[in-house]
Amino acid sequence: MVGILGELSDAGSSSPGGTGLLPRLELIWTQGAADAVIGLSCAAMGVAIAIVLVRRRDLPFRGILWAFAAFILGCGATHGLAGWALWASRDGLEADVRLATALAAVAAAVALWRGLPAALALPSPGALQQVRRELGARIRERDAAERASAAKSAFLARVSHEIRSPLNSILGYTDLLLGEANRTAEERRKLTIIQVSGSSLLAVVDDIVDFSRITAGEAALRSEPFGLHDLVDTTLAMVRPAAESKGLLLSVEIAPDLPRHLRGDEDRIRQILLNLLTNAIKFTAAGSVSLTLRREEVVSGRARITVAVKDTGAGIPPDRQATLFRGADPGEDAHVPRIGGSGLGLVICRKLVALMGGEIGFESHEGYGSTFWIRLDLDPVAAPPELPPPRPEPDEILPAPRILLVEDIPANQELVRLLLEEEGYAVDTASNGVEAVAMIRSAPYRLVLMDVQMPTMDGLTATRRIREMGGPSGRIPIVAMTGNILPHHLEACREAGMDDVIAKPFKRADLAAVIAHWTLIEGDRPRRPARDVLSSPA
pLDDT tier for residue 335 given thresholds of 50, 70 and 90 = very low
* Rounded Cα–Cα distance for residues 473 and 443 (Å): 9
Instruction: Determine which of 22-36, 69-83, 350-364, 413-427 has the lowest per-residue pLDDT on average.
Output: 22-36
* Cβ burial, residue 503 (10 Å; 0-12/13-18/19+): buried
pLDDT of residue 167: 86
Q: Report the range out of 75-89, 290-304, 404-418 with the highest average pLDDT.
A: 404-418
CB 287 within 8 A of CB 313: yes
Domain ranges of the chain: 2-121, 224-325+343-380, 402-533
pLDDT of residue 458: 92
Choose between 366 and 393: higher pLDDT.
Answer: 366
Mean pLDDT, rounded, for 49-53: 77
CB 171 within 8 A of CB 197: no
Percent with pLDDT over 90 in the chain: 23
Q: Residue 90: pLDDT above 60?
A: no
Beta bridge partners of 428: 404
Q: Taking phi first (over 0 means left), then psi (-120 to 50 degrees means alpha), and beta for anything else, what does residue 61 get?
A: left
Choose between 234 and 43: higher pLDDT.
Answer: 234
Choose between 101 and 379: higher pLDDT.
Answer: 379
The predicted-structure confidence for 93-129, as pLDDT tens digits, reads as follows 555 655 566 566 666 666 656 765 665 566 666 777 8
Helix residue ranges per DSSP H, 179-253? 185-215, 228-245
* Rounded Cα–Cα distance for residues 409 and 166 (Å): 9
Q: Residue 417: pLDDT above 70?
A: yes
DSSP label of 503: E
Q: Residue 437: pLDDT above 80?
A: yes
Instruction: Determine which of 386-390, 413-417, 515-519 has the lowest per-residue pLDDT on average.
Output: 386-390
Instruction: Determine which of 36-45, 222-231, 296-305, 408-417 has the lowest per-residue pLDDT on average.
Output: 36-45
pLDDT of residue 13: 45
pLDDT of residue 438: 94
Backbone angles phi, psi at 481, to 5 degrees: -115, 110
CB 52 within 8 A of CB 45: no
163-190 burial code (b ≥16 CB/10 A, e <16): bbbbbbbbbbbbbbeeeeeeeeeeeeee
CB 505 within 8 A of CB 537: yes
Closest-CA residue to 490 (of 511, 535, 460): 460
- Looking at domain 224-325+343-380, its CATH superfamily turns out to be Histidine kinase-like ATPase, C-terminal domain (3.30.565.10)
Choose between 210 and 30: higher pLDDT.
Answer: 210
Instruction: Determine which of 237-251, 291-305, 418-432 has the lowest per-residue pLDDT on average.
Output: 291-305
CB 508 within 8 A of CB 533: no
pLDDT of residue 17: 42
Q: Residue 440: pLDDT above 90?
A: yes
CB 169 within 8 A of CB 195: no
Instruction: Determine which of 2-11, 92-101, 381-390, 456-465 has the lowest per-residue pLDDT on average.
Output: 2-11
Q: Residue 533: pLDDT above 70?
A: no
- Average pLDDT of every residue of the chain: 77
pLDDT tier for residue 163 given thresholds of 50, 70 and 90 = confident
pLDDT tier for residue 11 given thresholds of 50, 70 and 90 = very low
Percent with pLDDT over 70 in the chain: 73
Choose between 124 and 76: higher pLDDT.
Answer: 76
Pick the CATH number of 402-533 from 3.40.50.2300, 3.30.1360.40, 3.20.20.150, 1.10.3720.10: 3.40.50.2300
**What's the predicted TM-score (pTM) here?**
0.57
pLDDT of residue 2: 40
pLDDT tier for residue 392 given thresholds of 50, 70 and 90 = low
Q: Residue 44: pLDDT above 60?
A: yes
